[in-house]
Amino acid sequence: MGPEQLAELVDRYGAALVLYARQWCDSPEDVVQSAMLKLVRVTVPPDNLVPWLYRVVRNGAIDASRAARRRHKYEAAAAENAPKWFSPSYDPTGLDARSAGLALADLPPETREIIVMHLWGGLTFEQIAQAVGSSAATCYRRYAAGLDTLRHKLGADIPAKTK
């Protein structure tokens, strides 16, 4: 893979891959960079490049999360006792990013990753199915159910169905 192709992949999918990795770890940029380096080292590029990238990022993010949990085991008690710099703000008048993020974080991981891949990554349900090892129909069902759950949690109106 040439530098131009790699730059195009980073420009097109980099931000979505970072968002996808953020579900599992605190260093999503590092995980995406590692995935791109793995791609450069592969002698034969994968047939389905985008789902391959998502799978490599997913596995890397899960590994990074496990490593961080091990590393933070003894630091957690000290962090809990440290004074907070800012008090959290809450806006009950409407939807805010924090509420949406918390509602998204409450979803089952399988549902959350499908929503992130589809909405922010722009992947089709067939591509998502390849990345997560499922069927496109199952991915769509989880996506639709997840959106319904988010609407309910956030008090959003359900759009009228068109005939």
> Which residue, among 145, 130, 109, has the nearest Cα to 23 in the 3D structure?
109
Task: Assign 161 to helix, strand or coil.
Answer: coil
At residue 160, the pLDDT reads 60
Q: What dotted CATH number matches 95-163?
A: 1.10.10.10
At residue 10, the pLDDT reads 94
pLDDT digits 0-9 by tens, 15-32: 999 999 999 999 999 999
Spatial separation of the C-alpha atoms in residues 100 and 106, rounded to whole Å: 10
* Local structure of residue 93 (DSSP, 8 states): T
At residue 162, the pLDDT reads 58
pLDDT digits 0-9 by tens, 46-102: 999 999 999 999 999 999 999 988 887 767 766 667 665 445 555 554 556 777 888
Q: What dotted CATH number matches 1-81?
A: 1.10.1740
Cβ atoms within 10 Å of 24's Cβ, excluding its own:
21
Domain borders along the chain are 1-81, 95-163
pLDDT digits 0-9 by tens, 106-149: 999 999 999 999 998 999 999 999 999 999 999 999 999 999 99
At residue 100, the pLDDT reads 81
First to last CA, the chain: 47
